[in-house]
Amino acid sequence: MPRLAGRRTAVLAVLALAAAAGCSDSGSSSGGGSSANTPGVTDTEVTVGTHMPLTGPAAAGYSKIAPATKAYFDYVNAAGGVHGRKISYKIMDDTYNPATTQQVVRELVLQDRVFAILNGLGTPTHTGVLDFLKTNQVPDLFVASGSRNWNQPDKYPGTFGFNPDYTIEGKILATYVKDNHAGQKVCFLGQDDDFGRDSLAGVKAVLGSVAAEQTYVTSNPNVAPQMGAFKQAGCQVVVLATVPGFTALSIGTAAKIGFKPSFVVSNVGADYDTLAEQLGDAAPLLEGVVAANYLPLNNDDANPWIQLFKKVNTQYNGNAEFDNNIVYGMSVGYLFVQALQAAGQDLTRQGLIDAVEKGGFSGPGLVPLRYSADDHSGYSGEQLTKVEGSTAAYFGKPYRTDDGDGPVTEYTEAPPAPPANGIPPQ
């Protein structure tokens, strides 16, 4: 089970000590030496940490991600771990509040002395800890957000994304709109941060402009003004760059005011099971919603990755209701295990970063990962989904593109099947 952030008094004391010491433990964290003096690493264990919205406005769905990652680690640990080390995963609740994120990440690094931060979630939350993690030379892997901030290898050499970045996603969603809703008024609602701005940039790169654009803040769960403005503007298609709670709010609010556009939704806010739970009796409003994903869907029981993750979920995650958030969390876990394996027996922080930059990882993703010394972004594209008959299913082929003016092109290679034992080969 995840450990909630509950050591506020202790962490304040740690912060005071850190301030006096210059807020850096870089003398023992660079990884230039050996695992013997690397924080979070012993002969038998490697400890990593994360910040997640276990409670708060983004908790719907997202609170299931880190426990799923931990479940996959427990599965690997039961088979002996990685290079003889078990993976310990410390999960801290930041409530999707940037100030709390800074507090819990400092606790993880300065008090718990984790080896790395893994899959910290959120654009506004994680942006605030980039400089701290850089100063303390802590690997910052596979951030749970599609912000382009994570792909700055010169500025943040230890930070790597995981999700396709939001501009890539915006281009792919807008290509669908251009091909299927030509001549219709397209409007855009996005989170008031890089999530929304980067998504809108991708949409405009393909469509040129939108008829109306609005933003929301997660502290205000009322999108009636935005939906009302779209209705008045005569919007026929609404693109949403929203977290799940605000996707549900937008679709539900639109229905209440008699506004019935076609909704096209960012992957991060489109998990069908999460939205259906949020909408309750109004779940039929999701029929026809188009979104995108880059991992196998939770309802594809014939997919060998889904078979593996369901097995792990049953054995190590309390048989939690299986949705795409669990698929996501276990996919992150699988990738991190590959990175640890590639970093070698003599595990150091720099060795881990070098291993990720070398790339060559494969897994359940429908498109390739893009890691290299010059590219710290994650997956390179997505495939479109549509809700039909209360089920989200893929259609068409996966697409790849870039966050510039490159074309949106189909990707035709199928992902490999998982190893027979479900663990990357060492």
Beta bridge partners of 14: none
Contact indicator for 348, 34 with CB cutoff of 8 Å: yes
The per-residue pLDDT for 30 is 40
Whole-angstrom Cα distance, residue 401 to residue 146? 14
What is the number of residues in the chain? Answer: 426
Distance, C-alpha 202 to centroid of its chain: 18
* pLDDT in the model for residue 3: 36
Question: Is 0.75 surpassed by the pTM of this model?
Answer: yes
Q: What is the pLDDT of residue 35?
A: 78
- What confidence score (pLDDT) does residue 426 get? 78
> Which phi and psi (to 5°) does residue 273 adopt?
-65, -40
Which two structure tokens, joined as six digits, stand for 158? 């230890």
The domain segmentation of the chain, as residue ranges, is: 8-164+302-380, 166-293
Kind of pairing, strands 381-388 and 262-265? unpaired
Reading phi first (left if > 0) and then psi (alpha if -120 to 50, else beta), residue 80 is in left
Residue environment code for 92-113, b if the CB has 16+ CB neighbours within 10 A, otherwise e: bbbbbbbebbbbbbbbbbbbbb
Instruction: Identify the three-state secondary structure at position 185.
Output: coil
How is domain 166-293 classified at the architecture level of CATH? 3-Layer(aba) Sandwich (3.40)
Alpha carbon 356 to its chain's center: 17
Q: Helices marked H in 263-421 — which ranges?
A: 272-279, 304-316, 324-343, 349-358
CATH number of 8-164+302-380: 3.40.50.2300
Mean pLDDT in consecutive groups of 10 residues from the start of the chain, 426 residues: 37 35 36 75 98 96 98 98 98 98 98 98 97 98 96 98 97 98 98 97 97 97 98 98 97 98 97 96 98 97 98 98 97 98 98 97 96 96 97 97 94 94 92
Phi, psi dihedrals of residue 283, rounded to the nearest 5°: -55, -30
- CA 16, CA 25: separation in Å to the nearest integer? 14
Strand partners, 90: 49
119 phi and psi angles, rounded to 5 deg:
65, 30
Would the CATH topology of 8-164+302-380 be identical to that of 166-293? yes
